[in-house]
Amino acid sequence: MKINPAFGLAAILILTLSFRLYLAFSSPYFDSDLAYFNARIIENIIETNKPFSFDPLSYGSRELIHPQLFHYLMSFFSSIPEFMKVLPELFILPLTIIAYFIAKKITRDPLASLITALLVSFSPALLFNTSNQVSVYTLAIPLFYLMLFCLMDIKAGKNLYIFIAASFLLPLIHPISFLFACSILFYLILSGSESLEVESNTKEAVLFSFFLILLINFILFKKAFLLYGLSIIQQNIPPQLLAQHFLPPNIFNSLYLIGLIPLILGSIGVFQGVFKQKDKNIILLTSTLLTIMLLLLLKFIDLSTGLLFFSISLTLIASVAISRIIKYLEITRIHRIKNLMIALGIFLIIAIIIIPAFFSTSKIITPFEISTLQSLARDAAPGATILAPVSQGHLVAYFTQRKNVADSNFILAPSPEQRLQDIKIAYTTISASKALEIFHKYNIQYLFVSKEAQRVYGVSRPSYLDDETCFKQRKSTVYEVKC
Amino acid sequence: MLLAAIILVTPFLIRGSWDTVGKEPFLLDRLSKDFLLQGKQAQDTLSFSGRPWSYPLGTVLVAATLKKIASPFFVLLILPLLLGILTAGLFYASINHLHQNKKVAFIATILLVISPSFIYTFVFLKEFTIPLFLAMLAGHLLICRKHLAAYLFLALMAGFGIEHFIIALVMLFLARTPEQKTKATIATLLILILGMVLYFPLLFQYGLPELFSFEQRNPLFNIFSDFGSRFGISIFLIFLAFFGLKEFWKEKYTHSRMYTALAILMLLTIIKASFIIYATFLLALLSALGMLYLFNARWESRTIKDLTIFILILGLLFSAISFLNNYENAQPSPELVESLQSLSQVSSPEEVILSHYSYGIWINSIASRKNVMDEKAFYAPQVNERFQDIEELFQSRNLERTQTLLKKYQIAYIYITPEMKQGRVWQSEEQGLLFVLKFSQDEFTRIYHQNGIEIWKVRT
């Protein structure tokens, strides 16, 4: 049986899209707090046609710095029904095609490339970070790997012009463009150390892209750079949350997100490609891996983003090992049952990758809690402030259209460290006067005691809420501050 | 030179006023005024409530002398502007003389003039304004082989501060030629003696200055204007300089003096970030060569070449525009000046004012009152102890401890700005001293509250 690559790729695309759409529509809500932040930006753009530079709800009200090309693109297609559910799933789809072509470029083996494309499409880290979410990554990741693909053969066709255009677009979509800039610079260094002659075109493209990404980011984040200097890399994340964002990778969690197959095959691929074949394309992908590792080590990139790009790059390199396994099978007796072996391999991938991926999605809020928040949107005074855990700040602002005390966007946020400390005290203190002091300080009218709050702060319900003269239970999880 | 004039006038056009901004111009204005009235004193009674006079004598002396014949406006604004224009002219002439290439000289001068460190130095009178001009003048004279005059200006530089004294010695070392060996050695010795005469008495009297451990920022903050440095350079200038260095390296060790100068300046910049102002001249030259290298190199893709050079130029312009734009809201604001003038009216000259140390120079210069601490920490008394005490004072909610510390430094007034409440000192409204002030009405009285600025009187 000879698999037609186009047919195979189309099948993977259909499978990926169906799976992702199934996940997206299995819940009327999104699976991350950040999705609601992006949704608010998009809705604001639809309403005003202007960039969302001032958020009246976040941290009481604050200035906002955020690249918004993704949001503009989303708003452009806002006439499509359920566009916030459908479009991100369509944006991420080209990654499957790009992964196929990158793997084909490395291995020249259509079957290995198809398997690689399948592995990339169902990478647990990718699904965890992008499925059922209005995530900027759904556009940034395909663009990131498209640029790497163009760089692999910059002379071919329109690759140069695609690369130029993508270099301009990526920093307008996400600051992850810095990772790209560092990776390609690292590639030049790595090639030099391996005495590999990099083509002039590639060098020129690298230089151009590096400077362009740097300039656009300087322009976009000018205020933040002036305020925080190089510390901007850590996004002004308060010390209480730094450990959570930049934690040294937990080996089991990382293994789960990267996937065991990509990790083993990817490591073999790095060894084969860099040390034996000295393949420039593999060195380019390896430099992405090394840059991520270096940035993770220096705590310049958060763990979740690092693992996401690490897993995709490693899976792409795994194509080398996959191709070798297929070739090996062809020269053994097993060759006779090659098709069965391939079928078994695909079944294994489904069993090891796709099924766990199905369960890897997380639910950050229950539908009941959302309906509670929606009722607040109707009942609460327009200028009211609602206290919620920082991990639900965007969600509260989205559903209630009321102010939050803090959320996960810390750049230019007013006193995030103090606010986080105060939020923790408000949920954990037994003193009503202490809690009231905090409520008055931030002009808080409602306290949201969600499951997430119970999990984060380890309390089912602050005991001071028993004082009915000052606190009135509005819904089972929302309390009104009356004093 | 015309571009230099336009660039240096731009901050005033952006602000729409000729009012002095920054801290150094205020400090130099006060010191030169005092110098005119009392001559050089052993002590500065206002800074740190009294500290050894360890400021750069040269700039104060020049400013005081000029104030006798001209207005403070000329000294603080026009003089730096003129020196900036002359420095740009001398730089152009020197590069042209060295390279015999007008294009290199022209590009290098443009890169110098639009660099934030040049703008910082020549907009208002600063500690670096006059010595930087003297260094450029001496450099030009050395290039034109007028050694004696050059040695004279280098000797003069020694009087403007230890940094400039070091630079004068470095320049002499680099300019040594076999035929000038004796003269250069004599000049070096004379400058060394002059340096000793100027700086050793301070060393003998007060010992080594205390190394301050607070506010240690990442050196990158202070080197690159893009990361918020007051006097840094554009990060794109460094990239271009890298290509310039590559161009120089084609002739290997022919330019060994250039490499030595660059290495010394980089080392000095790591030790003290303000040396980057001197390094800018060298980097501007290297960047000009780098830019020409990029122009002339054979690129596979014309599109990429044009776009890359365009981006680099945009990057340099972005740094300059972004730096110039900062002047729009530069401090002190009229509200700050007004509050400090009020403070001057309600307090007596002997009374000490507590504020964040970043307001110390303005408390001395605008209100003419003593501060507990300011940014000029060189040879200041017990810098680290003061810093820790002030930190404790700001953060403590204990009235007793607060009063002990207030007494220790004889503090009569507390000066609070909105910036202090918004993160510079406190994160929340009832944090530390703010809580004490709010709930100890018997001990403190708020005597001024306008535009978010508060002045509290400490009741004794």
What residues of chain B lie within 8 A of the CB of A414, using their CB?
422-423
What residues of chain A lie within 8 A of the CB of B423, using their CB?
414-415
Which of B428, B435, B438 should be substituted to probe chain A, the one whose Cβ sees the most A Cβ atoms within 10 Å? B428
Q: Could you tell me where the DSSP H helices lie in B70-146? A: 72-73, 79-99, 102-113, 116-122, 129-143
The model's pLDDT over A197-247, given as tens digits with 9 standing for 90+, comes to 888 888 899 999 999 999 999 888 888 887 777 667 667 777 667 666 655
Distance CA A246, CA B348 (A): 53
Which of B311, B329, B429, B434 should be substituted to probe chain A, the one whose Cβ sees the most A Cβ atoms within 10 Å? B311
Closest-approach residue (CA) in chain A for B239: A211
Q: Would you say the ipTM is above 0.90? A: no
The model's pLDDT over B75-121, given as tens digits with 9 standing for 90+, comes to 899 999 999 999 999 999 999 988 878 888 999 999 999 999 999 99
> How large is the average pLDDT for residues B381-395?
88
Q: Do B226 and A230 touch (CB under 8 A)?
A: no
Residue A269: what pLDDT?
87
Continuous segment of H or E residues that includes residue A239: helix A239-246
Is some CB atom of chain B closer than 8 A to the CB atom of A76?
Answer: no
What residues of chain A lie within 8 A of the CB of B227, using their CB?
225-226, 229-230
CB-nearest partner of B318 from A204, A215, A422: A215
CB-nearest partner of A204 from B301, B311, B422: B301
Residue A350: what pLDDT?
72
Residue B5: what pLDDT?
87
What residues of chain B lie within 8 A of the CB of A422, using their CB?
428
**Which residue ranges make up each domain of chain B?**
2-127+210-328, 334-458
Is B334-458 CATH 3.40.50.12610? yes
What residues of chain B lie within 8 A of the CB of A440, using their CB?
none
Q: Across all residues in chain B, what is the average pLDDT? A: 87
Residue B218: what pLDDT?
63
Q: Are B26 and B361 in contact (CB under 8 A)?
A: yes
Q: Do A219 and B428 touch (CB under 8 A)?
A: no
Which of B224, B304, B313, B439 should be substituted to probe chain A, the one whose Cβ sees the most A Cβ atoms within 10 Å? B304
Q: Are B295 and B287 in contact (CB under 8 A)?
A: no
For residue A472, give the DSSP letter.
E
pLDDT bin (cut points 50, 70, 90) of residue B132 is: very high
Has residue A248 got a pLDDT over 70?
Answer: no
The model's pLDDT over A64-121, given as tens digits with 9 standing for 90+, comes to 888 999 999 999 999 999 999 999 999 999 999 999 999 999 999 998 999 999 989 9
Closest-approach residue (CA) in chain A for B423: A415
B447, burial (CB in 10 Å: exposed 0-12, middle 13-18, buried 19+): middle
Looking at the complex, report in whole angstroms how far the Cα of residue B363 sits from the nearest Cα belonging to chain A.
Answer: 24
pLDDT bin (cut points 50, 70, 90) of residue A263 is: confident
Distance CA A210, CA A180 (A): 8
The model's pLDDT over A347-401, given as tens digits with 9 standing for 90+, comes to 777 777 666 666 655 567 788 888 888 888 888 888 889 999 988 999 999 999 9
Residue A300 CB neighbours (<10 A): 18
Residue B55: what pLDDT?
85
Q: Are B134 and B127 in contact (CB under 8 A)?
A: no
For residue B420, give the DSSP letter.
I
Closest-approach residue (CA) in chain A for B221: A229
Residue A247: what pLDDT?
59
Which residues are CB-contacts of A431 (< 8 A; sequence separation ≥ 6)?
A464
Has residue A437 got a pLDDT over 70?
Answer: yes
Would strands A403-404 and A385-387 be described as parallel, antiparallel, or unpaired? parallel
C-alpha closest to that of B84 among B141, B42, B140, B128 = B128
Q: Are A213 and A164 in contact (CB under 8 A)?
A: no
Distance CA B332, CA B21 (A): 6
Torsion of CA A261, A267, A269, A274, to 10 degrees: 170
Q: Do B307 and A208 touch (CB under 8 A)?
A: yes
What residues of chain A lie within 8 A of the CB of B312, using their CB?
211
The model's pLDDT over B420-437, given as tens digits with 9 standing for 90+, comes to 988 788 877 778 899 888
What residues in chain B have their Cβ under 8 A from chain A's Cβ atoms? 217-218, 220-221, 226-228, 235-236, 239, 299-301, 303-305, 307-308, 311-312, 314-315, 318, 322, 326, 422-423, 427-431
> How large is the average pLDDT for residues A316-337?
84
The model's pLDDT over A151-169, given as tens digits with 9 standing for 90+, comes to 998 888 788 999 999 999 9
The model's pLDDT over B223-256, given as tens digits with 9 standing for 90+, comes to 887 777 777 888 899 899 988 888 888 777 777 8
Distance CA B286, CA B104 (A): 9
Looking at the complex, report in whole angstroms how far the Cα of residue A425 sits from the nearest Cα belonging to chain B.
Answer: 14
Which of A211, A300, A433, A439 should be substituted to probe chain B, the one whose Cβ sees the most B Cβ atoms within 10 Å? A211
pLDDT bin (cut points 50, 70, 90) of residue B220 is: low
The model's pLDDT over A407-435, given as tens digits with 9 standing for 90+, comes to 988 888 888 888 888 899 999 998 888 88
The model's pLDDT over B275-320, given as tens digits with 9 standing for 90+, comes to 889 999 999 999 999 999 988 888 888 888 999 999 999 999 988 8
Lookup result for tokens 């969302």: A52
Q: What's chain A's Rg over C-alpha atoms? A: 24
C-alpha closest to that of B55 among B44, B66, B63 = B44
Has residue A251 got a pLDDT over 70?
Answer: no
Is some CB atom of chain B closer than 8 A to the CB atom of A211?
Answer: yes
Which of A207, A300, A433 should be substituted to probe chain B, the one whose Cβ sees the most B Cβ atoms within 10 Å? A207
Chain A segment 149-178 residues within 8 A of B by beta carbon are: 160-161, 164
C-alpha closest to that of A268 among A233, A336, A319 = A319
Share of chain B above pLDDT 90, in %: 32
- In the three-class reduction of DSSP (H, G, I as helix; E, B as strand; rest coil), residue A433 is classed as helix
Residue B60: what pLDDT?
92
Residue A1: what pLDDT?
54
> How large is the average pLDDT for residues B247-269?
82
pLDDT bin (cut points 50, 70, 90) of residue A46 is: very high
Residue A150: what pLDDT?
94
Has residue B379 got a pLDDT over 60?
Answer: yes
The larger pLDDT score, comparing residue A455 to residue A70, is at A70
pLDDT bin (cut points 50, 70, 90) of residue A40 is: very high
> How large is the average pLDDT for residues A337-353?
75
Residue B235: what pLDDT?
86
Has residue B50 got a pLDDT over 90?
Answer: no
Which residues are CB-contacts of B40 (< 8 A; sequence separation ≥ 6)?
B53, B57
